[in-house]
């Protein structure tokens, strides 16, 4: 993807489906962490844009880092934003790791479809069988529409839950 935020569309849909069992903040943090290596390459003028970070081994290591750091960063961010006024937000470790791994693995998958230099199975295999699976336009639409569908589902589900339990408002 040309911009990390485009990866958020599928994450929003996953959030709508999994609700409290998924952290969109940690998923988003994993997207940022995944694209730090390509950003560094762009800034330094290196040749290989998508390196080790865009392999499934790299995504595993960055997923672990994203879960460990993202749990604490998310809790701090929610506290600063005032979301945790009534009761403290404590993201459980299983949610942190699930969210980070979905974020890092989906990032590799989506970028594998778009970028010819991604080698998702490196060092076992340097081929990229996903490249060109979808056109760039279709891939962008998939991400955009999944985000829109996810947002609609998320707010619809929350509205239904709140309308059935007015005391929880």
Nearest to 52 by CA among 68, 67, 66, 40: 40
Angle among Cα 110, 138, 104 to the nearest 5 degrees reads: 15
Average pLDDT over residues 25-42: 93
What pLDDT score does 47 carry? 75
Q: What is the number of other CB atoms lying within 10 angstroms of the CB of residue 71?
A: 23
CA distance 139 to 109: 11
Measured over all CA atoms, what is the biggest interatomic distance in the chain, rounded to whole angstroms? 58
What pLDDT score does 80 carry? 86
What pLDDT score does 125 carry? 92
Backbone angles phi, psi at 110, to 5 degrees: -65, -45
CA distance 7 to 160: 27
Domain coordinates of the chain in residue numbers? 4-168
CA distance 164 to 108: 40
pLDDT confidence tier of residue 28, bands split at 50, 70 and 90: very high
Give yes or no for a cis peptide into 123 (omega within 30° of 0): yes
Each residue of 103-153: pLDDT tens digit? 999 999 999 999 999 999 999 999 999 998 999 999 999 999 999 999 999
Each residue of 56-79: pLDDT tens digit? 999 999 999 999 999 999 988 888
Average pLDDT of the chain, as a whole number: 90
């Amino acid at each position: 993807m040309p911009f990390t935020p485009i990866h958020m569309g599928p994450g929003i849909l996953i959030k709508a489906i999994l609700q409290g069992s998924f952290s969109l903040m940690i998923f988003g943090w994993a997207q940022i962490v995944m694209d730090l290596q390509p950003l560094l390459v762009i800034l330094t003028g290196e040749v290989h844009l998508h390196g080790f970070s865009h392999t499934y081994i790299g995504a595993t290591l960055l997923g672990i880092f994203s879960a460990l750091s993202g749990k604490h960063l998310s809790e701090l961010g929610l506290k600063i934003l005032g979301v945790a006024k009534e009761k403290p937000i404590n993201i459980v470790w299983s949610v942190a790791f699930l969210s980070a791994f979905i974020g890092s693995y989906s990032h590799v998958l989506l970028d594998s479809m778009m970028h010819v230099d991604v080698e998702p199975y490196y060092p076992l295999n340097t081929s990229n069988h996903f490249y060109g699976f979808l056109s760039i336009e279709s891939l962008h639409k998939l991400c955009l529409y999944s985000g829109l569908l996810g947002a609609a589902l998320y707010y619809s589900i929350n509205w239904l839950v709140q309308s059935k339990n007015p005391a929880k408002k």
